[in-house]
Structure 1
Amino acid sequence: MKKVIIIGGGQVGAYLANLLIEKKCEVLIVENRPSVLERLYQEFDAKLIIKGDGSDTQILEKAQIFESDTVAVVTGSDEVNLVAATIAKYEYGIERVIARVNNPKNDWLFTIEMGVDKKVNQADLLGHFVFDEML
């Protein structure tokens, strides 16, 4: 069974958590915003939620990062996503690190050298989808 840490519990993180739980993955969500945490506690079992900053090594260790196969960094901040991805890959040797790109201008930063195995650039995906549908 895959063990996944999701850093960022907003709409994307919560949606991803539900998808992974459906597929029988073990999931932990790391979030630090009080209003988002309140919603997460209503939607998920409290044992699946870690309160804290996903770029803090103590929080990552509390989330059992050493036992995780994958880390998905999906916060709304490219800076946080890059820092957390770099830490997950190079401090903890996580096999698969997936990171969300919020600002398309930052896409070039999300590389394997920064700890990102796979990047998801929502603006780029949506832009290409709309363009393809216009043709």
Structure 2
Amino acid sequence: MKKVIIIGGGQVGSYLAHLLIEKGCQVLIVDNRPAVLEKLRSEFPESMIICGDGSDTQILEQAHVDDTDVLAVVTGNDEANLVVATIAKYEYGINKVIARVNNPKNDWLFTIEMGVDKKVNQADILGHIVFDEI
């Protein structure tokens, strides 16, 4: 069973968690926003939720980040996503770090040198789909 830690429990993070659970993955979600945590608690068992800042090494250690297969950083803040990706890759040696790109102008920063194995730039993906349909 693959273990996945999701940093960011908003709409994208909770949707991702549901998909991964359906696929048989073990999922932990990290977020520190009270309203988001309340919503997460209505959808998932408390054991799947960690309250805290995903860039805090103590929180990452609480999530057993050193024993995870994939870390998905999907917050709405590119800077936070890059910080967590870098920490996960270079401090904990996470094999696969996937990060969300919110602002397309920041796409160039999401590289393997910054700890990102795979980036997801929603605006770029949507733009290519629209172009392909023209």
Aligned to 2:58: 58
Aligned to 1:98: 98
Task: Determine helix, strand or coil for the equivalent of 1:116.
Answer: coil
User: Residue 54 of structure 1: CA displacement?
Assistant: 0.4
Aligned to 1:40: 40
Task: Determine helix, strand or coil for the equivalent of 1:30.
Answer: strand
**Runs ≥4 in structure 1, deviation > 2 angstroms?**
none
Task: Determine helix, strand or coil for the equivalent of 1:94.
Answer: coil
Q: Distance in 1 between matches of 2:131 and 2:34?
A: 38
TM-score (norm 1): 0.98
Which residues in structure 2 correspond to 1:62-81 (within 5 Å)? 62-81=62-81
Task: Determine helix, strand or coil for the equivalent of 1:47.
Answer: helix
Taking only aligned residues, the RMSD between alpha carbons, in angstroms, comes to 0.5
Task: Determine helix, strand or coil for the equivalent of 1:54.
Answer: coil
Q: Distance in 2 between matches of 1:5 and 1:56?
A: 14
Aligned to 1:120: 120
Aligned to 2:88: 88
Q: Identical aligned pairs, as a percentage?
A: 78
Aligned to 1:26: 26
TM-score (norm 2): 0.99
Task: Determine helix, strand or coil for the equivalent of 2:76.
Answer: coil
